[in-house]
Amino acid sequence: MSNQAQSVLYSVNFIVLAFFTKKFRLVSTYQFIGLLFLLSLNLIVSIFTQDKYVLESLLVYIILEFFLMIFYLKSWIIPTLYMIIQLFVVMAIWTLTINIPMMIFDIKVSGYFEFAEAIIQSLLILLLYYFFKKANQRLKLWEFLNYQKKRYKILSIVILFLFFSISVIHGVASANKQWVLSTYSLIVLGVLCFGIFTSLYFVKRDKEQKEYLTSLTTFYNQEQAKYKYLRAFKHDFKDLIISVEACLEQHDYSEAKTLIRRITQSTDNIMDEKININDIKNTSLRGLLIHYYNRGVEREIDFRINILGEFDVKDFILVDVIRCLSIVLSNAEEETEKLKYHKKIIFVDIKKNGNNVFFIVKNNYENKIDIHEIFKRGYSTKDEHRGIGLNTIRNIESENRGLQFNLQIDREVFCAEIHMTIDFD
């Protein structure tokens, strides 16, 4: 394929990708217009001339686009990851639409061929954009990277060096029709991209889990502070009432109102002292139970917690236990809210027996439930039909030998049991 044909097709590729660059808000509107102008100029020159330097000018465009993204986003890692995705997409599409057909067939490049290739490649870019969009909606990696304060300059330079080094090998091999080396280098690039984004996903998941545990710990500490305040307040409550009574006897109604107002304000949002969860040593797990207890109070659900035996959940299993218990409690809460003919009660029994801890959650239900279908992904009794919770528990159970999950469904009672086996110090 001539330099002119390559320049035309590459220009079309990058014009389509430029719109996605703006769509992802990686450059400003003025930067986008400038980049689009350069690409359009390069396309026009490519159509009417056969100068080999026109193709090389696209490298200048790539570098300019990269530094404009850095300037606009004040970050290195996002432009780097977007750049390697962008270049990998272009190389993969060229391999599918140019290299492989040239390996199999003796194709003569013509104007009609270039036009057809431009359309096919643009459609493939749109298809890949749709794929990446769907993947990001599920994994939320782009949003995670946007909230990172670090610039990751050194890491970005290392990634770019590795990627461009392999890209040069791929380009030279394709130009010399060394198809095996060209294909192999593309596969290596694909593995590199997959490895980078897989690593980012695990970093994101680990950080979210730590933040979740921290938020539960903070929530518990806040509720514990309220509880301590309640105990101190109850100690002085009698004296406060005596003070109010004295004001009333002296007909000092203004002072009495002031005291009553202060008593009311002081008792707002104080945790009910019926919860006794000191036997649970993990503050994040305590926070989860208190969170659902308070939600039950707000929704007029009688949330009863019974704990037998002190226990401590080890760090390596704590997140999985919290995820499973959170799903079970959420389902119980939603099902209990729908009750019309039964009292709204959720029983939570936590029992320790040797190296075993049992989390048992019971609630009444009125909707028909099929126990054979309930663990399938997508099954739900909710109006939105978004059922992934119990399916998620099954996946966690299969990956963790220390957890077992059982369900019992009677005529009116739904019982979920999480069995945790672990060595206690």
pLDDT of residue 317: 77
Class of the CATH-defined domain 274-425: alpha beta
Number of other residues whose CB lies within 10 A of the CB of residue 88: 19
Number of other residues whose CB lies within 10 A of the CB of residue 373: 10
CA angle 285, 287, 290 (to 5 degrees): 115
pLDDT of residue 264: 53
In angstroms, the CA 124 to CA 77 distance is: 26
The pair of structure tokens assigned to 279 is 């036997």
The pair of structure tokens assigned to 320 is 């999985």
pLDDT of residue 361: 92
pLDDT of residue 353: 81
pLDDT of residue 268: 46
Give residue 335's pLDDT band: very low, low, confident or very high (50, 70, 90). Answer: confident
Q: Which residue has tokens 């870019």? A: 125
Report, as an integer, the average pLDDT of 34-55: 81
List the domain boundaries for the chain. Answer: 3-211, 274-425
How many percent of the chain have pLDDT more than 90?
2
Q: Tell me which residue of 78, 208, 204, 206 sits closest to 146, measured CA to CA.
A: 78
The pair of structure tokens assigned to 38 is 């350069």
Residue 277's identity, in one-letter code, is I
In angstroms, the CA 219 to CA 325 distance is: 17
Q: Cα dist. 171→186, 189, 289 in Å?
A: 10, 12, 58
pLDDT of residue 1: 62
Report, as an integer, the average pLDDT of 266-292: 64
